[in-house]
C-alpha cells in the first residue's frame, strides 16, 4: 500500500503512526509544511525502509514563512521529494496570492535546477495557475496533484501535461471525487490519506487507512483489490525512477 501524501509530523503521536506504517510495509511520503519542520519530520523516517520525507512550504503558510526560502534552498539536496508546495485560491488566502506565486515558482525553479524532484502539489481553487507554472518549468511529468478538485477542463489539461494524481479515502467518499478519479488514467494514480487532515468520521486518517482508498478504487475500476494494489505499486516504481537518487547525496531520501 501507498500513502503518497501524509503529514506525519502533525499527528498527536507521530512516532507511533510512523512505526505502524513501517510495520505494515506501507510506502509513505511524509510531507512538510515549512522548511524549519524538515529536520524533525525527516527524523521520523530515519532507519525506516518505507518512509521518505518531502521538503515543503505550504501555500497557506507562504505569507508567514516566505523568509524560510533560503533554508528551503539549503536543504533541497537532501531529498528528491518536494512538498507540500503549490497555490491556494480560497477566499481567505486571496490577499496572499502574490507571495504564494513567488514561493511556488521559486520552489519549482530550484527543484529543476537541482536535476528535478518528485513534487506533491496543493492546487485548491488554483488548478489553472498551478498547471501554467508546471508547464513553464517543464516539470509536470514528476508532479503529483494531491486531492485534485479542479474542473473537468483543468483535469483534462493536467492529464495532457503528464501530471500524476493522489487520491484518498476522504476524496473518494464524495461523488465528485469519484467522478474525477474515474477520469484519471490508471497508470498516473497513487493513493494518499492527507492525514491527520483527512478524516474518517471524526478520526484522522493515518497510512494504514489507505486500504479504504484501494477498496474504493476497486469499485471504480471494477477489478479485484489485488489488481489495484499491483497497479499502484507499478505506478510508484515508474514515478520514482524518473528522478534517480543522487549517489553522492548524504541521505537516502
pLDDT digits (tens, 9 = 90+) for 35-91: 999 999 999 999 999 999 999 999 999 999 999 999 999 999 999 999 999 999 999
Give domain 2-240's CATH superfamily: Metal-dependent hydrolases (3.20.20.140)
Domain ranges of the chain: 2-240
For residues 168 and 193, is the Cβ–Cβ distance under 8 A? yes
What pLDDT sits at residue 253? Answer: 55
Q: What is the dihedral of CA 197, 116, 59, 126, to 10 degrees?
A: -90
Residues in the chain: 253
Does residue 247 register a pLDDT over 60?
no
**C-alpha–C-alpha distance, residues 237 and 253, integer Å:** 15
Tell me phi and psi for residue 246, to 5 degrees: -75, 120
What pLDDT sits at residue 246? Answer: 57
Q: Is the pTM of this model over 0.75?
A: yes
Tell me the average pLDDT across 112-139.
97
What pLDDT sits at residue 214? Answer: 98
Closest CA to 161 of 192, 138, 184, 186: 138
Does residue 111 register a pLDDT over 50?
yes
Amino acid at each position: 500500500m501507498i500513502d503518497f501524501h501524509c503529514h506525519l509530523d502533525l499527528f498527536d503521536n507521530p512516532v507511533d503512526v510512523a512505526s505502524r506504517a513501517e510495520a505494515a510495509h506501507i510506502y509513505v511520503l511524509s510531507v512538510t509544511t515549512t522548511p524549519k519542520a524538515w529536520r524533525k519530520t525527516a527524523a521520523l523516517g530515519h532507519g525506516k525502509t518505507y518512509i521518505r520525507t518531502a521538503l515543503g512550504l505550504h501555500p497557506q503558510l507562504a505569507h508567514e514563512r516566505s523568509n524560510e526560502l533560503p533554508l528551503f534552498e539549503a536543504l533541497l539536496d537532501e531529498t528528491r521529494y518536494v512538498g507540500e508546495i503549490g497555490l491556494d485560491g480560497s477566499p481567505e488566502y486571496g490577499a496572499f496570492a502574490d507571495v504564494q506565486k513567488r514561493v511556488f515558482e521559486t520552489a519549482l525553479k530550484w527543484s529543476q535546477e537541482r536535476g528535478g524532484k518528485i513534487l506533491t502539489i496543493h492546487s485548491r481553487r488554483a488548478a489553472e495557475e498551478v498547471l501554467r507554472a508546471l508547464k513553464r518549468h517543464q516539470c509536470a511529468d514528476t508532479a503529483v496533484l494531491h486531492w485534485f478538485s479542479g474542473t473537468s477542463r483543468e483535469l483534462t489539461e493536467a492529464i495532457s501535461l503528464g501530471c500524476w494524481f493522489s487520491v484518498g479515502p476522504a476524496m473518494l467518499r464524495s461523488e465528485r471525487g469519484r467522478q474525477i478519479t474515474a477520469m484519471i488514467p490508471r497508470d498516473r494514480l497513487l493513493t494518499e490519506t492527507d492525514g491527520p487532515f483527512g478524516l474518517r468520521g471524526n478520526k484522522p486518517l493515518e497510512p494504514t487507512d489507505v486500504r479504504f482508498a484501494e477498496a474504493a478504487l476497486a469499485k471504480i475500476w471494477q477489478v479485484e483489490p489485488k489488481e489495484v494494489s499491483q497497479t499502484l505499486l507499478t505506478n510508484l516504481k515508474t514515478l520514482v525512477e524518473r528522478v534517480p537518487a543522487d549517489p553522492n547525496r548524504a541521505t537516502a531520501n
